[in-house]
């Protein structure tokens, strides 16, 4: 095994180093990999193991309590255009099952979804990273999703949408429009999270402003001629700080 990783492994990080992963503690590896490596005896080689990254062969080099030193060979399956077409066909069939009420969207997520995505554990609901809730403004949406749902009514499901994950892996996804809010004045019932976030930001700004003004009372301030008449600086200059050109 020592020379095999350099020749066969698709792990660009460890492959050139003989597959050596160094000393690692629990929680470092994905669940399937970690479960296997902690079952091995020193110098033992595992059977072929599949994880989200591909197929592995693992060798445990040494173990010290909950810290292991291992190496592996990783082979990533090659995804062909035919594979992608087949995946799209499967997704379209899943969409039809949901539309025909032979399967719920939540059930489809559990049966066909990628368990490594955050939405898998939330019945497919995607969290908006800006607000933390599951509501999106138009500007928050990916372009492909916006055009896919632009003409949908609440409850409708898009056709399969192709996209790439952070690691470049190609996927297909279905998007269901659950609700659509019309333009309206902000109110606590519909916009509580936005109002909460705005209030928090306002408090942060007020605190920061008070902190800056307090520090300026004990700070030497120098303002050049070019900026001395700036109206935004007048409150600072009026604090009685020493000013020089």
What are the tens digits of pLDDT across the range 73-123?
A: 999 888 888 999 999 999 999 999 999 999 999 999 999 998 878 888 888
The model's pLDDT over 124-153, given as tens digits with 9 standing for 90+, comes to 998 888 777 888 888 888 888 999 998 999
> In which element (H, E) is residue 92 found?
helix 81-99
The model's pLDDT over 20-58, given as tens digits with 9 standing for 90+, comes to 899 999 999 999 999 999 999 999 999 999 998 889 999
pLDDT score at 109: 94
167-205 exposure pattern, b = at least 16 Cβ within 10 A, e = fewer: eeeeebbbbbbeeeeeeeeeeeeebeeeeeeeeeeeeee
Q: 110 CB contacts (<8 Å, ≥6 apart)?
A: 120
Q: Average pLDDT of the chain?
A: 84
With 0-12 / 13-18 / 19 or more C-beta atoms within 10 angstroms meaning exposed / middle / buried, residue 87 is middle
pLDDT score at 216: 73
Q: What is the pTM of this model?
A: 0.56
pLDDT score at 244: 44
Range among 92-106, 171-185, 188-202 rated most confident: 92-106
């Amino acid at each position: 095994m020592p020379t095999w990783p350099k020749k066969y492994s698709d792990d660009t990080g460890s492959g050139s180093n003989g597959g050596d992963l160094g000393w690692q503690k629990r929680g470092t590896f994905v669940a399937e990999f970690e479960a296997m490596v902690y079952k091995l005896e020193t110098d033992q080689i595992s059977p072929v193991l599949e994880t989200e990254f591909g197929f592995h062969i693992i060798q445990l080099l040494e173990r010290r309590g909950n810290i292991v030193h291992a190496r592996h060979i990783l082979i990533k399956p090659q995804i062909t255009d035919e594979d992608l077409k087949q995946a799209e066909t499967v997704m379209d069939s899943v969409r039809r099952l949901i539309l025909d009420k032979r399967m719920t969207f939540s059930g489809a997520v559990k049966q066909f979804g990628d368990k490594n995505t955050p939405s898998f554990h939330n019945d497919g609901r995607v969290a908006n990273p800006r607000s933390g809730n599951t509501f999106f403004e138009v500007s928050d949406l990916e372009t492909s999703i916006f055009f896919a749902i632009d003409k949908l009514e609440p409850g409708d499901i898009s056709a399969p949408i192709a996209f790439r994950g952070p690691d470049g892996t190609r996927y297909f996804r279905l998007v269901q429009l659950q609700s659509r809010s019309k333009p309206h004045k902000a109110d606590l019932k519909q916009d509580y999270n936005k109002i909460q976030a705005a209030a928090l930001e306002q408090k942060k700004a007020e605190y920061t402003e008070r902190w800056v003004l307090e520090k300026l009372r004990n700070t030497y301030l120098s303002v050049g001629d070019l900026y001395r008449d700036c109206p935004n600086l007048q409150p600072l200059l009026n604090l009685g700080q020493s000013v020089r050109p």
